[in-house]
C-alpha cells in the first residue's frame, strides 16, 4: 500500500469525492494545498474568499441548504471565531430548529493545536467548546489513514461535520499506509491503536503519538498499555472506551485542551457515571491536559503546557501505584 | 409596465393575509395560546409582497425575527405557520422553531432568524448556489436598519459583490431597532449609500407604496438574473406595533410621534385606493377579499388549535439528518 | 433586611460601584433596567450601542486597557456570539499575551438559560464553552444576595469577569433579603445552600432552586440532601465540593447545559480524579443535564430538556439505590 | 508648514530603525534564533512614521500581525522588542507574546494582533477612553486592505462615527492579503470610499512619501483632537517581502511584478533624496545615521541573546492580574 502524509490523505479524499459528486465544492480563506484541485475542478469549485469568515462560513450554510455540499476551510480554527455566530446559532441549530425540513451537508475543517511557538491565539485546542454545542459532529483524526476515511465519511454525511486537523500532523512529512481507493471509516467509532492489559490510555488527535511512545517505553518495563483513540468526539464511542477500562481497571486521558471542561473531562465523567465501569475502576481516572492558560510563545513555556510522552508516563505510573 | 389585474389583486390579497395573520397571531399571543415571542410585521406588508411578487418559487429568501410577512409573501401555508406558532406537531417545524424560526424550504423560504444580521451570509450562500446551478435563479435577503450595522452586512455585501452573485439585499428601514432610533444607531441617513462601499447600486424607495416596491425590485431581480450582480434596496417603512409582543401587552416604549406615524402610512389602504382608482377594486370585492382572508386565518387557527402537541421525547428527534 | 429581586440586587451593585468609582461605566446593546442609572450618572456612563456586538465588546477591552472599568451588557449571551473573537482571542488572552503589562478590568454580563419558549438560539446555556477558555473568570449567581455580592467583586476585580444571569432568575419577581450596604462575596468560593448527610447535590445557577425543592421533598422521606452551589465556575471551589462529597459519599450534579462537556462533566472529573474523594464515593457520580439537543420551542419539549426537581429526585434515588 | 530639521531627521532615523530592525529580525529568524513567525514591515516604513510623528506619547494605537514598524514608530525600545522575538524574560511580554503580540502600554502601543481586523474594536475603545478622559487624546488604528473586508471594520467605523470618537483609522493598503490581491478581495478600488458609509471623511494618500503621510494624518489628528470625529486614511504602500517569513525561506508566491514593484518604491531612499535637496542630509550624516541605527539593533540582538529564557513553569504566571 502506498505511504502518504496526513495532508496528502486529506487531499486524496477531496479529489475522489469531488469526482464522485459534482455538488461537493470548496470555500476557503486561503488556498494552500487546495490549489492542487483547481486544474481538475476549476476555480468555481475551489473558491477563495476575502478575509470575512462570518460571510463565507454562513455562505456555506446557505449553499448546503440549497442543494450543495460545501467544504469550508478557514485555515486555522482561531480565524473562525469571527464566524462563531454562524457556527453556534446557525450551522449547529438550523436543521433542528426547522424541524428537519432540510439537510445541511457541510464539512467545516480547520487546524487546531499548538507546538509551533505561534502564541496564544494561534495555538488553541478549542474542540471542547464544540463538544458542548449540540448539533455538530466532531472528528479529530490522528493518522493519515483515519484522516482520509473519516473525511470521506464527513463529506458524505448529511449534517454539518467539524473536522479539526492538528497543525503539527497537517504539516508533518511523516508518511504511512493509506489505500489509494475510496474507503470510509464510520463516524462515531473509536480505534484501539494498541492493545494492552494494565491500563487504558484514551488519547485524542496528536496526543495519540505521545500515548503510543509512552506505551512503547513502558512495555520494556513490563507495563502493558492499551491506547484507545476515540477519533470522533461527537458522537463518542462510549462503549469502546468503557469496555477497555472495564478490562484494565485503570485509565489515563490525554487531551491537548486546557483541562477545565476539556474533552478529557467528558471522557472521565462518561466513564465514571457508568456503574459497571465505575465498579471496575481500581484507581481514580487521571487527566493529562494543558493547564488553564493561554498557550505562551516561548518554546520552553509552550512545551511545558502541551502534554508529551513523559507526562503520560508519569500519569500511568500514578494510576498504577 | 402593465400588470395583470389578477396579479394586482393577488398582491392585495397577500398584503391583507399578512396583516390579518399577524393581527390574529397577536390576539392569540395575548390570549395565551402562543408561547415565546411574536414580532408583528403589521405596517410593512408592501415590502414583502412587492419584493416577492418578482420571485419564482425556486428563488430563495432569508428572513428575520419579524418573518411572518416574508414567509406568507413567498407562498407559505398560513395553516402550517399558525400551527408552528401554537407549538404543534403539524407546524412547519413540528413545534421546534416557533415564530422566530419558521421556514418552508418547499417554497424557497430558508428561514426566519433570531439573530440580527445572521441571514445575510446565508442568503449569500443561497445566491452562490443559484449562480452555480445556472438557472438564472436569485436570492433575496431581508434585514432591518438595525441589522445594517452588524459586521455580517459588510462582509456579505463585499463577498456577494466580489463573486457578482445574483442577490438582492432588501433593507426594511422602519426607523427603529427595538427602542433605538435609526437616527442614533446609523451613522448615515440612508442605508442605501452603503452600496458604494461594495461597488453595487443602492436605491432608496418608499416602502409604503407596493407598486413602487415591485418596480424597484423588478430591476434588481433583472440585473441579478442577467448576471449583473447584487443590488441593495432600502425601503422606508413603518412598524405599527411594539418591537415584540409582551405578556400584559405593555405600551410601546417609543415616543408618541413614532407610535402615531405608523397607521398614518397604511400600505393596504393606499393600495386599495389605487386599485379603486384603476377600477379594479370595488367596495364589495374589497369586502369579499378581507372576509375570505379572515376566514382562512380563522381556519388556520382552528387547524392549529385542533392539532396535537408534540410528545416530550420528540425533543430528541431531528438533531441530525439521516 | 430589605427584600429585593435578583435584577434589583444587580442594579444596586451597579449604583453603589458607579458612585464609588467614576471609572466604572456601562456599554450595552439595549438599556432595559440600566435606564434607571441615567438620571444619576448620565448617558456618557450608560452607553447604548448600535447592533454591533463585536465592535462594542471589543471597545470595552480597549477602554479597560486605557484606564476605565467597563461593564458590557449585550443582553442575551446568544447575541454575543457575533463578538466571540473579541472574547476568545482578545479579552481572555490579552493580559497574558502581553506578559501582564496591563490589567483589563471588564465585567461581561449576559443572560443565559432556557424556560421561556424562546427556541434554540435564545435558550442556550453555553457556560461550559467559557470554562474551557483560559483567561476569564466565570460567575453564575443563583440568588439576589449572591448576585449583588459577586457583581461588586466582579466590578472591583482587575480581570475580565463573565457573569451569566439566568434569564428566568433575572426576570423573576421573587424577592429575598439583600443588605442595602456594600458587601462582597469572594470570587471562587462555593456556598452550601443546604446542609445534609446522605448525598451531595452540586447545582448551578437556576438549578439550585430545583435542587433545594428536591431536598425539601426528600427530607420528608428521611433523606438528607446537601446542596452545594459553586457560584463561581472559574475558579471553582474544588475543596468545598470535594469535602462535601467526602462526607456524603454520593453526588448528583445538576447543570442546565447540554450534557456533553458540561460544567457537570468538569465537576464529575474534578471529584473523581482526587484520590481521597474517589475512595469516599459509594456510588457513581450522576449528571443531571439537558440532553445534547438545541433547546426546542414548544413548551412540552422544552420542559423535557431542562432539568427540574423530579429529574433531581430520580437521580438522587439512583445514587442511593 | 515648516518642520524643524531635527524632527525631519528623527523621522528619517525612525524609518531606518524599522527597516534595520526587520532586516535583522528576518536574518535572526532564518538563523533559527527567533521561533514562531515574523511578518516584515519592510517597504511600509513611511506609514508608521508619518502617522505616529503626529502623536503624543499618551495617544494610543493598535497594530496588526505586521506590527514592528508601528511599535518602533510609537517609541518602543528595540532591545525589549528583540528580546521578545527571541522569547526571553526581558522581552516586552516576558516571552509570552512574540512577534504577533508585542505591546508597550507605556508608550500607548496597545498591541500587535494575530487576528485580522481585531484591532479595530479595541482602538475604538481606546478612543472612547480618550473622549471620556477629555484631554484631547486620540487613538490610531492600523489595519490592512485585507482587514477592511472583515465585519469589525464596518461595526467599528459605524460605532466610532455614532459617538464622534477621536480616532484615525489607518488602512495600510499594500495590495495584498497573503497571496490574494486586493483587486480580488476588495469590491472597490479604494478602501477610503468606505468612509461614505459612516459619514466620515476618507482620504487616499501615497504611502511611500513620508511627508505626505504626515500631512494627511496631521489634519485627521487635528479633527480628532478638536472633537470633529473619526477619519479614514488609506495609504497605498508596498510589501517587499513574503507575507511572513517561513523556514527554508521559500520564494514569495506573488507574481514577479508584485515582487519587483516593492523595491521600486523605497520610502527611505525617497525621503533621503528630499532631505538632501533641502540641504538637511549629507552623505556623511546619512552614513552616520545608518551606522548608529545598525549598532543599536546589533546591541538589541546581543541584549536578547544574552537574556535568560523563561522557566517552564513561568507559563503559569500572568493569567490573571492581582
Ligand atoms: C446579534 C443580535 N443582537 C441583538 C439582538 C436583539 N434584537 C432582536 S431584534 C433587534 C432589533 C433589530 O432591528 P432591525 O434590524 O431594524 O429590525 P426590526 O426589528 O426593526 O424589524 C435586536 C436588537 C439579536 N436578536 N441579535
Ligand atoms: C480573522 C483572521 N483571518 C485570517 C487570518 C490569516 N491571515 C493572517 S494575515 C492575513 C492577511 C492580512 O492582509 P492585510 O490585512 O492586507 O494585512 P497585510 O498582511 O497585507 O499587512 C491573513 C489572511 C487571520 N490571522 N485572522
Ligand atoms: Mg428596524
Ligand atoms: Mg495587505
User: How many C-alpha atoms does B246 have within 13 Å on its Cβ side?
Assistant: 9
pLDDT in tens, A297-315: 999 999 999 999 999 999 9
Q: Quick one: CA torsion of B299, B305, B311, B317, rounded to 10 degrees?
A: 30
Q: What sign does the CA torsion over B296, B302, B308, B312 have? A: positive
Residue-wise DSSP of D36-99:
S-----TT-HHHHHHHHTT--TTSEEE--SS-HHHHHHTT--HHHHHHHHTT-TTSTTTTSS-G
Taking any CB pair shorter than 8 Å as contact, residues of chain D touching chain A are 35-37, 87-88, 93, 95-98, 100-101, 113-117, 146-147, 149-152, 177-180, 184-186, 309-316, 319
Contact between chains at D122 and C90 (C-beta distance less than 8 A): yes
All three cell numbers of C31: 438599556
Question: What confidence score (pLDDT) does residue B3 get?
Answer: 87
Measured between alpha carbons, how far is B99 from B95 in angstroms, rounded to an integer? Answer: 10
Give the closest ligand to the alpha carbon of residue C50.
Answer: 1
Which residues sit opposite A228 in a β-bridge?
A192, A202
Per-residue pLDDT, averaged over B35-41, amounts to 98
Q: Under the phi-then-psi rule, with left for phi > 0, alpha for psi from -120 to 50, and beta for the rest, what region is C98?
A: alpha
All three cell numbers of B216: 424597484
Question: What confidence score (pLDDT) does residue D1 get?
Answer: 59
pTM above 0.90, yes or no: yes
Measured between alpha carbons, how far is D103 from D113 in angstroms, rounded to an integer? Answer: 9
Instruction: Measure D147 CA to ligand 4 centroid, in angstroms.
Output: 8
Q: Which of C247, C135, C259 is nearest to C192 (CA)?
A: C247
Q: Which of D128, D130, D314 to mutate to test the interface with C (most CBs of C within 10 A)?
A: D128
CA-to-CA dists, residue A292 to A257, A265, C130, C137, angstroms: 9, 13, 12, 11
Cβ neighbours of residue C24 closer than 8 Å, sequence gap 6 or more = C17, C18, C45, C68, C69, C70, C71, C155
Among A120, A129, A135, select the one facing C294 at the smallest CB separation.
Answer: A135
Residue A95 catalytic?
no
Q: What are phi and psi of A138, to 5 degrees?
A: -140, 125
Residue D189 has pLDDT above 80, yes or no: yes
Measured between alpha carbons, how far is A100 from A88 in angstroms, rounded to an integer? Answer: 17
In 3-state terms, what secondary structure has residue A49?
coil
Instruction: Measure A49 CA to ligand 4 centroid, in angstroms.
Output: 14
CA nearest ligand 1 atom 7, residue: B116
Cβ neighbours of residue D111 closer than 8 Å, sequence gap 6 or more = C94, C97, C98, D62, D63, D67, D101, D102, D103, D119, D122
Does ligand 1 come within 6 angstroms of the Cβ of B178? yes
Residue C46 has pLDDT above 90, yes or no: yes
User: How many C-alpha atoms does C285 have within 13 Å on its Cβ side?
Assistant: 33
Measured between alpha carbons, how far is A24 from A106 in angstroms, rounded to an integer? Answer: 9
pLDDT in tens, D31-42: 999 999 999 999
Cβ neighbours of residue C287 closer than 8 Å, sequence gap 6 or more = A269, A273, C252, C253, C255, C259, C262, C264, C265, C268
Question: Would you say C148 and A120 are in contact if contact means Cβ atoms under 8 Å apart?
Answer: no
H helices of D55-209, in order, are 68-73, 78-85, 119-133, 151-162, 182-185
Question: What confidence score (pLDDT) does residue D2 get?
Answer: 74
Question: What confidence score (pLDDT) does residue D3 get?
Answer: 87
Residue-wise DSSP of C89-106:
IIITTHHHHTTT-S---E
Instruction: Check residue A86 and report its DSSP letter.
Output: I
**Can you tell me the ipTM of this complex?**
0.98
Q: How close is the nearest chain A Cα to the Cα of C20, in Å? A: 32
Question: What confidence score (pLDDT) does residue C125 get?
Answer: 98
User: How many C-alpha atoms does A163 have within 13 Å on its Cβ side?
Assistant: 25
Per-residue pLDDT, averaged over C261-269, amounts to 99
Question: Would you say C305 and C120 are in contact if contact means Cβ atoms under 8 Å apart?
Answer: no
Percent of chain B with pLDDT over 90: 99
Measured between alpha carbons, how far is A205 from A140 in angstroms, rounded to an integer? Answer: 6
pLDDT in tens, D91-100: 999 999 999 9
Instruction: Measure B181 CA to ligand 3 centroid, in angstroms.
Output: 8
In chain C, the residue whose alpha carbon lies closest to the alpha carbon of A119 is C97
Contact residues on chain A for B151, CB-CB shorter than 8 A: 54, 82
Question: What confidence score (pLDDT) does residue B1 get?
Answer: 59
Measured between alpha carbons, how far is B172 from C109 in angstroms, rounded to an integer? Answer: 30
Measured between alpha carbons, how far is B267 from C304 in angstroms, rounded to an integer? Answer: 43
Q: What sign does the CA torsion over B308, B313, B319, B320 have? A: negative
Among A51, A79, A296, select the one facing D315 at the smallest CB separation.
Answer: A296
Please pick, among A26, A95, A122, A127, the residue that the annotation labels catalytic: A122
Contact between chains at D93 and C102 (C-beta distance less than 8 A): no
All three cell numbers of C23: 471609572
Contact of C84 with chain A, judged by CB distance below 8 Å, is answered with yes
Q: Which of D71, D107, D231 is nearest to D167 (CA)?
A: D231
User: How many C-alpha atoms does B72 have within 13 Å on its Cβ side?
Assistant: 36
Question: What confidence score (pLDDT) does residue B2 get?
Answer: 74
Measured between alpha carbons, how far is C238 from A290 in angstroms, rounded to an integer? Answer: 18
For chain B, the average pLDDT equals 97
Measured between alpha carbons, how far is D157 from D120 in angstroms, rounded to an integer? Answer: 8
Among A260, A263, A294, select the one facing C131 at the smallest CB separation.
Answer: A260
Contact of D256 with chain B, judged by CB distance below 8 Å, is answered with no
Per-residue pLDDT, averaged over A208-218, amounts to 98
Can you give the length of chain B in residues?
322
Question: What confidence score (pLDDT) does residue A54 get?
Answer: 98
Residue-wise DSSP of B29-95:
HHTT-S-S-----TT-HHHHHHHHTT--TTSEEE--SS-HHHHHHTT--HHHHHHHHTT-TTSTTTT
Query: Which residues lie with the beta carbon below 6 Å from any ligand 2 atom?
Result: A 29, 51, 53, 79, 82; D 65-66, 114-116, 144-147, 174, 176-178, 239, 243
Given the C-alpha cell 376566514, which residue does it identify? B295
Contact residues on chain C for D71, CB-CB shorter than 8 A: none
pLDDT in tens, B226-281: 999 999 999 999 999 999 999 999 999 999 999 999 999 999 999 999 999 999 99
Percent of chain D with pLDDT over 70: 100
Question: What confidence score (pLDDT) does residue C242 get?
Answer: 98
Q: Report strand pairing: C232-234 vs C106-112.
A: unpaired
Cis before residue C241, ω within 30 degrees of 0?
no
Residue A240 has pLDDT above 80, yes or no: yes
Surrounding ion ligand 3 within 5 Å at CB are B 144-146, 174, 176
Question: Would you say C20 and C182 are in contact if contact means Cβ atoms under 8 Å apart?
Answer: yes
Q: Report strand pairing: A225-229 vs A199-203.
A: parallel
Residue-wise DSSP of B253-295:
-S-HHHHHHHHHS-HHHHHHHHHHHTT---HHHHHHHHHHHHH
Which residues sit opposite C68 in a β-bridge?
none
Given the C-alpha cell 518604491, which residue does it identify? D265
In 3-state terms, what secondary structure has residue B202?
strand
Per-residue pLDDT, averaged over A24-42, amounts to 97
Does ligand 1 come within 6 angstroms of the Cβ of B146? yes
Per-residue pLDDT, averaged over D304-312, amounts to 98
Q: What sign does the CA torsion over A209, A211, A217, A222 have? A: negative
Amino acid at each position: 500500500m502506498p505511504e502518504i502524509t496526513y495532508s496528502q490523505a486529506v487531499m486524496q479524499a477531496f479529489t475522489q469525492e469531488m469526482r464522485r459528486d459534482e455538488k461537493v465544492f470548496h470555500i476557503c480563506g486561503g488556498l494552500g494545498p487546495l490549489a492542487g484541485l483547481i486544474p481538475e475542478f476549476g476555480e468555481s469549485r475551489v473558491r477563495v474568499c476575502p478575509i470575512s469568515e462570518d460571510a463565507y462560513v454562513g455562505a456555506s450554510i446557505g449553499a448546503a441548504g440549497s442543494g450543495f455540499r460545501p467544504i469550508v476551510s478557514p485555515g486555522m480554527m482561531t480565524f473562525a471565531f469571527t464566524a462563531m455566530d454562524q457556527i453556534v446559532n446557525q450551522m449547529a441549530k438550523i436543521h433542528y430548529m426547522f424541524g428537519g425540513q432540510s439537510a445541511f451537508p457541510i464539512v467545516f475543517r480547520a487546524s487546531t493545536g499548538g507546538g509551533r511557538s505561534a502564541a496564544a491565539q494561534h495555538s488553541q485546542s478549542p474542540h471542547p467548546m464544540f463538544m458542548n454545542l449540540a448539533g455538530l459532529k466532531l472528528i479529530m483524526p490522528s493518522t493519515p489513514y483515519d484522516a482520509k476515511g473519516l473525511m470521506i465519511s464527513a463529506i458524505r454525511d448529511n449534517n454539518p461535520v467539524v473536522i479539526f486537523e492538528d497543525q503539527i500532523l497537517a504539516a508533518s512529512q511523516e508518511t504511512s499506509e493509506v489505500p489509494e481507493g475510496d474507503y470510509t471509516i464510520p463516524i462515531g467509532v473509536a480505534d484501539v491503536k494498541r492493545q494492552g492489559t494494565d491500563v487504558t490510555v484514551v488519547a485524542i488527535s496528536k496526543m495519540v503519538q505521545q500515548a503510543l511512545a509512552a506505551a512503547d517505553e513502558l512495555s520494556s518495563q513490563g507495563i502493558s498499555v492499551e491506547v484507545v483513540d476515540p477519533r470522533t468526539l461527537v458522537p463518542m464511542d462510549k462503549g469502546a472506551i468503557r469496555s477497555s477500562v472495564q478490562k484494565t481497571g485503570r485509565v489515563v486521558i490525554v487531551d491537548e485542551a486546557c483541562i477545565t471542561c476539556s474533552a478529557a473531562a467528558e471522557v472521565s465523567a462518561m466513564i465514571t457515571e457508568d456503574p459497571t465501569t465505575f465498579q471496575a475502576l481500581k484507581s481514580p481516572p487521571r487527566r493529562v491536559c494543558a493547564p488553564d492558560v493561554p498557550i505562551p510563545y516561548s518554546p520552553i513555556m509552550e512545551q511545558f503546557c502541551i502534554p508529551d510522552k513523559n507526562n503520560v508516563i508519569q500519569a500511568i505510573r500514578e494510576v498504577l501505584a | 409596465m402593465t400588470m395583470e389585474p389578477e396579479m394586482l389583486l393577488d398582491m392585495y390579497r397577500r398584503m391583507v393575509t399578512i396583516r390579518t395573520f399577524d393581527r390574529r397571531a397577536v390576539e392569540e399571543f395575548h390570549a395565551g395560546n402562543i408561547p415565546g415571542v411574536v414580532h408583528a410585521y403589521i405596517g410593512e406588508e408592501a415590502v414583502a409582497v412587492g419584493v416577492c411578487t418578482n420571485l419564482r418559487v425556486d428563488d430563495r429568501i432569508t428572513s428575520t425575527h419579524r418573518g411572518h410577512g416574508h414567509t406568507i409573501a413567498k407562498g407559505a401555508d398560513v395553516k402550517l405557520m399558525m400551527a408552528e406558532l401554537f407549538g404543534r406537531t403539524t407546524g412547519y417545524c413540528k413545534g421546534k422553531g416557533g415564530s422566530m424560526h419558521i421556514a418552508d424550504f418547499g417554497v424557497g423560504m430558508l428561514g426566519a432568524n433570531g439573530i440580527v444580521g445572521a441571514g445575510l451570509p446565508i442568503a449569500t450562500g443561497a445566491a452562490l448556489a443559484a449562480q452555480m446551478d445556472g438557472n438564472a435563479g436569485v436570492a433575496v435577503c431581508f434585514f432591518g436598519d438595525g441589522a445594517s450595522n452588524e459586521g455580517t452586512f459588510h462582509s456579505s455585501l463585499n463577498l456577494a459583490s466580489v463573486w457578482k452573485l445574483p442577490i438582492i439585499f432588501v433593507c426594511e428601514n422602519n426607523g427603529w431597532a427595538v427602542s433605538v432610533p435609526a437616527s442614533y444607531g446609523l451613522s448615515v441617513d440612508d442605508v442605501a449609500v452603503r452600496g458604494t462601499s461594495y461597488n453595487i447600486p443602492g436605491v432608496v424607495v418608499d416602502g409604503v407604496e407596493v407598486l413602487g416596491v415591485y418596480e424597484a425590485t423588478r430591476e434588481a431581480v433583472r440585473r441579478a438574473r442577467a448576471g449583473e450582480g447584487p443590488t441593495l434596496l432600502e425601503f422606508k417603512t413603518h412598524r405599527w406595533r411594539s418591537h415584540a409582543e409582551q405578556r400584559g401587552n405593555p405600551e410601546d416604549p417609543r415616543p408618541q410621534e413614532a407610535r402615531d406615524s405608523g397607521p398614518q402610512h397604511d400600505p393596504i389602504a393606499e393600495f386599495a385606493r389605487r386599485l379603486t382608482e384603476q377600477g379594479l377594486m370595488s367596495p364589495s370585492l374589497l369586502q369579499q377579499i378581507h372576509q375570505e382572508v379572515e376566514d382562512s386565518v380563522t381556519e388556520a387557527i382552528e387547524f392549529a388549535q385542533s392539532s396535537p402537541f408534540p410528545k416530550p421525547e420528540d425533543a430528541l428527534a431531528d438533531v441530525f439528518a439521516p
